[in-house]
Amino acid sequence: MTSDPDIPADFATILTEDSDTGGAAVPPITQTSLFTFDSVDAMEAAFRAPERNPIYTRGMNPTVRAFEKKLAAIERAEDARGFASGMGAISATLLGLLHAGDRVVCVNNVYPDAYRLMTGLMARMGVETVFVDGTDIAAVQGAVKGAKLLYLESPTSMTFDVLDLPSLAAIARAAGAISVIDNSWASPAFQRPIEHGVDLVLHSASKYLSGHSDTVAGVVCGRADLIAQINRVAYPSLGAKLSPFDAWLLIRGMRTLPLRMRQHHCSGLEVATRLAGHPAVSEMRHPGVGGTLDGSTLSGWSSLFAFRMQSPKAARRFCDALRLVRLGVSWGGHESLAFPTQLGLIQPGLTNSFHAFGVSDDMVRLHVGLEDVEDIWRDIEHALEISEAPGEA
Ligand SMILES: *Cc1c(COP(=O)(O)O)cnc(C)c1O
């Protein structure tokens, strides 16, 4: 069951090597809003391709470009575009590609704010979204006829269902729909959807790509023509650019992506396996507990998963009793984090989707960080004991 994680060998060099740094071991942060020119001719030449020449940092900045190129290389993408957040990347992608009257097919249990974007703003703009069970290939095939875009996430948020990416990408292609996937959970270390026929890959770079919980950033990568189409809306109209300093932090954080992901794989699976065998846990949702990497598009498990406890109160007591594992949103950093899903249910616009898609209020989502795995387990085991209050369901 514990298959070793497999990460392409070239990642290590792509992520540690930098070019055009003028000899500096670390690339500079080009912290400037604008770039100047010596002549109108030179300025005109730059204006011929404003997204690719340094003119103004909202459109292009060398530090941001260095991050985009590294990310494109490890996702095996033609091009990439960085954003101020994962949601900045998601909203720019949808607003860049869709028009009023278009239909989107989206799998159940995507990132909650992506769900709210589709059911809120995009609906208001005249773009309809249909939600389907992504594990039901026939249902997706039926729904995607005449749709403009198929929106995927695998494993899915909160429930961690693994989808069949090659089949879903082929179905979208046959229907003439653009396929888009949020690949934040696996990171390119463990899943490269473009190799399986997906057109565009999104990331919240705030998670594993950054790896240190010190940056909020996003990126979309994939077919150059689609990135250019997104750019035509993102640069002039939306403006949610990635800052040079955040790009620099991402370049730094990504140097250790392969090392961190190997550790997350091992520690996450170890903690999940122990939790699954504990009487206080009624259901485990980690794709590697009872699942296999054989024949999967995943080559490793990351360390974000969820489990159900006896009751919402038990989940609450468990979370309150944790000490080393902190309570917090987000994930993908060095630190272990727990999130009681009952708090997701009190956010406006999500209650229906959470209940309809199988997220219950007795769940805890856990991110296993890079602390010593026995220290993490001691903290969790102690909290599990406290969660089992006598005489209460
Ligand atoms: C966090 C997250 C996002 C949103 O990213 P931000 O950087 O917070 O805007 C998108 N998708 C997934 C799966 C996420 O976990």
Q: Give the per-residue pLDDT at 229.
A: 98
Cα separation, 112 vs 359, whole angstroms: 11
Quickly name the fold that domain 11-254 has: Aspartate Aminotransferase; domain 2 (3.40.640)
Ranges of each domain in the chain: 11-254, 257-387
Q: What is the Å distance from ligand 1's center to 111 Cα?
A: 7
Using the atom order of ligand 1, give the atom closest to the CA of residue 88: 9
As given in the structure block, the two tokens for residue 54 are 């340094």
Residue of 154, 161, 204, 302 best suited for mutating to test ligand 1, as the one with most atoms within 8 Å of CB: 204
> Does the beta carbon of 207 sit less than 6 angstroms from any atom of ligand 1?
yes
Using the atom order of ligand 1, give the atom closest to the CA of residue 89: 9
Residue of 163, 183, 207 best suited for mutating to test ligand 1, as the one with most atoms within 8 Å of CB: 207
Q: Give the per-residue pLDDT at 1.
A: 44
> Residue 100: how many CB atoms within 10 A of its CB?
9
DSSP β-bridge partners for residue 200: 180, 222
Domains 11-254 and 257-387 share a fold: no
Nearest in space to 190 (alpha carbons), one of 74, 307, 289, 333 = 74
Atom 8 of ligand 1: nearest residue by CA position: 86
Q: Give the per-residue pLDDT at 269.
A: 98
Domain 257-387 has CATH 3.90.1150.10: yes
What Cα–Cα distance (Å) separates residue 339 from each residue in 62, 63, 178? 37, 34, 33
> Does the beta carbon of 184 sit less than 6 angstroms from any atom of ligand 1?
yes
Alpha-helical segments (H) within the chain? 10-16, 40-47, 62-75, 86-97, 112-117, 123-124, 137-143, 165-174, 187-190, 224-233, 244-254, 257-276, 312-321, 351-356, 373-387
> Does the beta carbon of 206 sit less than 6 angstroms from any atom of ligand 1?
yes
Atom 7 of ligand 1: nearest residue by CA position: 86
- Please give the chain's pLDDT, 393 residues, in tens: 456 899 999 999 999 999 888 899 999 999 999 999 999 999 999 999 888 899 999 999 999 999 999 999 999 999 999 999 999 999 999 999 999 999 999 999 999 999 999 999 999 999 999 999 999 999 999 999 999 999 999 999 999 999 999 999 999 999 999 999 999 999 999 999 999 999 999 999 999 999 999 999 999 999 999 999 999 999 999 999 999 999 999 999 999 999 999 999 999 999 999 999 999 999 999 999 999 999 999 999 999 999 999 999 999 999 999 999 999 999 999 999 999 999 987 888 776 677 777 788 999 999 999 999 999 999 999 999 999 876 554
> Does the beta carbon of 204 sit less than 6 angstroms from any atom of ligand 1?
yes
pTM score of the predicted model: 0.96
